[in-house]
Amino acid sequence: MKRPFGQHFLFDPNILKKIIACGGVTREDTVVEIGPGLGTLTKFLSFYAKKIIAIEIDKRLIEKLEGILSSSSNVEIIQADAMKFPYDTIEGNFKVVANIPYYITTPLLFRLLEFKEKITDMTLLMQKEVAKRIAASHGSKDYGVLSISAQFHTRPELKFMVSRKAFVPPPEVDSAVVHFNVSPFPLYPVSDEKLFFDIVRTAFGQRRKIISNSLKKFEGIGNALADSGIDPGLRPEKLSVGDFVRLANTLK
């Protein structure tokens, strides 16, 4: 069964249990699941969590889900667009556990991080390439704006890979599970967040250039690099999140 919203279904119970174990889901937890599909992960989650809020955009799946999950009294199914859902209306803090549709992975991650005061952690199954970029350390070819944006408010950890063969229908690519510890405040003390992200985006916008060239639109960048102890001849992927924070604070 192919969904118009690009979801691929995962039925392997061992993988589903492994995802829940990564999320450390307990009887104390409220869990938000995005894109429950045919409710396979939802059903497993209902055995471990206090409450599941399953957000599904596809009207045609709601009826099926209600039938499949009729005996799970701790599951609430909501028909809504996960990109617009008001997560702040959920009572108390919650975890997010989801097999998210590939085409909304990055925007959905940023949407969820708007509610970082409410979310304790997230366990997300996503496209392997995106997972590698999110969890990448500086110095690697996968490291970039997405890595820094994710690591500014969370501690992402790539937990395990999932073969495309585990899905129905199989996607074109392999997947991976990433666990995010979410912090309600930035993990790095930056005095101007807007300037920080402007520097990061500008640097990686021309990632083949050395940092002093790619950032030359910023007045006083040469002095700021020297004062931050950063070699102006480095390429942006060689700078850690902490380096970019120091640079932004110095330039400020």
CATH of the domain at 156: 3.40.50.150
Torsion over CA: 213, 216, 239, 199 (sign): negative
Q: Is 42 found in the same domain as 149?
A: yes
Of the pLDDT bands very low, low, confident and very high (cuts 50, 70, 90), residue 118 is very high
Q: Is 237 found in the same domain as 173?
A: no
Gap between the Cα atoms of 88 and 27, Å rounded: 21
pLDDT at position 66, please? Answer: 95
- Of 182, 215, 243, the position where a domain reaches its end is 182
Q: Is 168 found in the same domain as 233?
A: no
Of the pLDDT bands very low, low, confident and very high (cuts 50, 70, 90), residue 2 is very low
Q: Is 92 found in the same domain as 31?
A: yes
pLDDT at position 50, please? Answer: 98
Q: Is 178 found in the same domain as 232?
A: no
Rounded mean pLDDT, 106-133: 96
Q: Do residues 139 and 237 make contact, with C-beta atoms less than 8 angstroms apart?
A: yes
- Among the ranges 11-15, 58-62, 76-80, 168-172, which has the highest mean pLDDT value? 76-80
Q: Is 216 found in the same domain as 106?
A: no
Q: Do residues 61 and 87 make contact, with C-beta atoms less than 8 angstroms apart?
A: no
How many separate domains does the chain show?
Answer: 2
- Of 182, 208, 240, the position where a domain reaches its end is 182
CATH of the domain at 236: 1.10.8.100
pLDDT, averaged across the chain: 94
pLDDT at position 6, please? Answer: 59
- Of 130, 156, 182, the position where a domain reaches its end is 182
Q: Is 149 found in the same domain as 121?
A: yes
pLDDT at position 207, please? Answer: 84
Q: Is 154 found in the same domain as 199?
A: no
Of the pLDDT bands very low, low, confident and very high (cuts 50, 70, 90), residue 3 is very low
pLDDT at position 252, please? Answer: 84
Q: Is 41 found in the same domain as 159?
A: yes
pLDDT at position 102, please? Answer: 83
**Domain extent for 73:** 9-182
Instruction: Give the pLDDT confidence of 227-236 residue by residue, as tens digits.
Output: 999 999 999 9
In a domain, 2, yes or no: no
Instruction: Give the pLDDT confidence of 185-204 residue by residue, as tens digits.
Output: 889 999 999 999 999 999 99
Of the pLDDT bands very low, low, confident and very high (cuts 50, 70, 90), residue 1 is very low
Q: Is 172 found in the same domain as 90?
A: yes
Burial (Cβ within 10 Å: 0-12, 13-18, ≥19) of residue 86: exposed
pLDDT at position 170, please? Answer: 87
In a domain, 3, yes or no: no
pLDDT at position 26, please? Answer: 97
At 102, which amino acid appears? Y
